[in-house]
Structure 1
Amino acid sequence: MTFFSQILGALQNSDQAASSGQVASILSTVDQVSDSYGTDRNTTQSALSIVGNYVRSALQQKRDTEGSEQAQSIVNQYSGSYPNPQAVNSVFSPDQTNGVIDAVAQKTGLNPQMIQQMLPILVPIVLNMLQTGTNAQSPQGGNPVLNAFLDADHDGDVDISDAMHLAARHLSP
């Protein structure tokens, strides 16, 4: 099942935390980031996908070394649609943060200082997408969206941008 299919499933499952309002808020935040930094939506979504790749790798490492509960705990604690520098620090080491900035700059052409300013909002957005699968009754329980994200085929292609395009179409009347 694809990442977006997992999000759709979460939207349709009352036991999971996903709501159309949450997804709409994520999409709105991406538009606000684009407006605030003077980038087009596609560039912001590309940056978000690259950040998503690094978040996936970092959460996989945390899951492998500290357990699934730790990865879910980070998602629960730091997901959102507001800037949170602690989210970046909880997911990435300083060296990893620099690697993320370099990768985003190389692939999008954005200024590294701008990317550094954007990271405290981009990381919580990725985590917010992952939180859609959180069990509403037991937040530390299984999360099929997070599991699908972490158990992806490792092809380097995180479906965050695609999921956002599909979500926008799904939420449109």
Structure 2
Amino acid sequence: MSLFNQILNAINNPEQEGSTGQLSNIFGTIEQLSNNYQTSPSAIQSALSIIGNYTRSSLKEKRNTEGEQQVQQIINQFGGTQPSPQVVNMLFNMPQLEQMLQQVESKTGINSRTIQSMLPVLVPLILNFLKTGNNAQNPQASNSVANSFLDADGDGDVDIADAMGMAMQYLR
């Protein structure tokens, strides 16, 4: 099942945290970033796609070395709309950050310093998007949206920006 379908299921399932309000907050924060940094929402969406790929790789590595519970704890602790430089430092080492910043700059035209200042907001937004799959009664239980994002079946069919774009259309 696609990431977008997992998110829709989470929104429609009262046992999961996902809600249209949560998605609206995420998209409102993206719009606010766009206005604050005078950057197009489509450029931020492209940046989210790249940052999402790096976030997925880092979370997969953490799941392999520290377990699924650690990944869920990171999602629960840092997923939101508030900036968190701590999660950026926790997920990415300096070479990964530099590579990600260069890739985002070359694909979007957004200055790497601007992207670097957006990262503490963008990474928590991605994690907040993943929180939609949390079990409302037991946040440490298996998260279907996070599992889909981490692409447990290995088919490579995951893009956070595409899923966010479809979710935005769904809300409209």
TM bucket normalised to smaller: over 0.9
Q: Which residue number in structure 1 is paired with residue 144 of structure 2? A: 144
Q: Which residue number in structure 1 is paired with residue 51 of structure 2? A: 51
Contact 1:104 1:110 survives alignment (8 Å): yes
Contact 1:4 1:159 survives alignment (8 Å): no
Q: Which residue number in structure 2 is paired with residue 37 of structure 1? A: 37
- 1:23 maps onto 2:27 in alignment: no
- In structure 2, how many angstroms separate the alpha carbons of the residues matched to 1:71 and 1:154? 20
* Length-normalised TM-score, structure 1: 0.94
Contact 1:49 1:158 survives alignment (8 Å): no
List gaps (5 residues or longer) in structure 2. Answer: none
SS at match of 1:47: helix
- Per-residue deviation at 1:20? 0.7
What RMSD, in angstroms, separates the aligned Cα atoms of the two structures?
A: 1.3
2:128 maps to a residue whose letter is: N
- Per-residue deviation at 1:95? 2.2
List gaps (5 residues or longer) in structure 1. Answer: none
Q: Which residue number in structure 1 is paired with residue 113 of structure 2? A: 113
Structure 1 runs, 4 residues or longer, greater than 6 Å off:
none
**Could you give the per-residue CA deviations for residues 99-156 of structure 1, whole angstroms, max 9, x where no partner exists?**
211111121121111111010011001001101001111111100000000026464x
Which region of structure 1 is more displaced relative to structure 2, 79-88 or 55-64?
79-88
1:40 maps to a residue whose letter is: S
SS at match of 2:15: coil
Cα 1:90/1:40, change in 2 over 3 Å: same
Determine what percentage of the aligned residue pairs are the same residue: 50
- Per-residue deviation at 1:94? 2.3
Q: Which residue number in structure 2 is paired with residue 4 of structure 1? A: 4
